[in-house]
């Protein structure tokens, strides 16, 4: 299409008188790379319906991944110690109750059953307390991880908002250019 015909179609477009076929012709025309300078600013207006790829900042992404990796390794250490302490307490309890080196039969350590029951209750309460402490540390670490992940979800929402704001800026630039070129 020649320059004059395109300018007439553009005028018709801004007056709202173009047909769908003419608008398709304009979109196809503005897909070109070599446009005249006075029409170059209109290109974003006719390419608005096309999906643009989400821009990624590789350095930003690498920094986030590094922080997540560091945080995960810290969480691994946080989760590991309570589990190891719990396992060690269970093993110690098991070996303290069953002495495998005895060659003789079962021998009571307490003569009074009430005293034996009190001692066993105290030991089991101690083990339960330590187990509870380990579980609380695990739950706290899991909560911190969930908070961090929810903040990461907000970043994708912010990125989409920034992209939309950039598109609005292009429309505003086009409108300003049109106001400059179409003054009576």
Lowest mean pLDDT among 23-27, 41-45, 54-58: 54-58
Q: pLDDT value at position 134?
A: 83
Query: CA 46, 163, 150: angle at the middle one, nearest 5?
Result: 150
Residue corresponding to tokens 């608008």: 23
Tell me what percent of the residues of the chain surpass a pLDDT of 70: 80
- Give 2's pLDDT tier (boundaries 50, 70, 90): confident
Lowest mean pLDDT among 23-32, 62-71, 137-146, 154-163: 62-71
Round to whole Å and give the CA distance between 72 and 172: 44
Q: pLDDT value at position 174?
A: 82
Q: pLDDT value at position 77?
A: 61
- Give 55's pLDDT tier (boundaries 50, 70, 90): low
How many Cα atoms sit within 13 Å of 136 on the Cβ side? 6
- Contacts within 8 Å (CB) and 24+ apart, 160-166: 160/54, 163/52, 163/54, 163/55
Mean pLDDT (whole number) for 159-172: 83
Query: CA 100, 101, 102: angle at the middle one, nearest 5?
Result: 95
Lowest mean pLDDT among 6-15, 153-162, 165-174: 153-162
- Give 157's pLDDT tier (boundaries 50, 70, 90): confident
H-assigned helices in 37-57:
37-40, 43-46
Q: pLDDT value at position 132?
A: 86
Tell me what percent of the residues of the chain surpass a pLDDT of 90: 4
Interacting residues of 90 by C-beta distance below 8 A, sequence separation 6+: 127
Q: pLDDT value at position 102?
A: 57
Instruction: Tell me the chain's radius of gyration from C-alpha atoms.
Output: 36
Q: How far apart are the first and last CA of the chain?
A: 26
């Amino acid at each position: 299409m020649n320059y004059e015909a395109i300018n007439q179609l553009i005028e018709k477009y801004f007056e709202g008188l173009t047909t769908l076929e003419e608008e398709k012709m304009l979109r196809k025309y503005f897909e070109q790379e070599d446009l005249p300078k006075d029409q170059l600013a209109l290109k974003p207006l006719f390419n608005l319906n096309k999906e643009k790829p989400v821009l990624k900042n590789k350095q930003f992404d690498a920094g986030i991944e590094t922080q997540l990796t560091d945080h995960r390794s810290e969480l691994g250490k946080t989760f590991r110690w309570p589990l190891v302490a719990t396992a060690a307490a269970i093993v110690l309890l098991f070996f303290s109750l069953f002495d495998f080196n005895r060659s003789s039969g079962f021998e009571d350590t307490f003569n009074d059953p009430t005293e034996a029951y009190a001692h066993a209750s105290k030991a089991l309460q101690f083990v339960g307390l330590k187990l509870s402490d380990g579980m609380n540390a695990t739950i706290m670490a899991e909560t911190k991880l969930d908070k961090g992940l929810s903040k990461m979800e907000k970043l994708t929402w912010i990125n989409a908002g920034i992209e939309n704001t950039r598109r609005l800026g292009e429309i505003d630039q086009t409108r300003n250019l049109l106001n400059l070129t179409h003054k009576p």
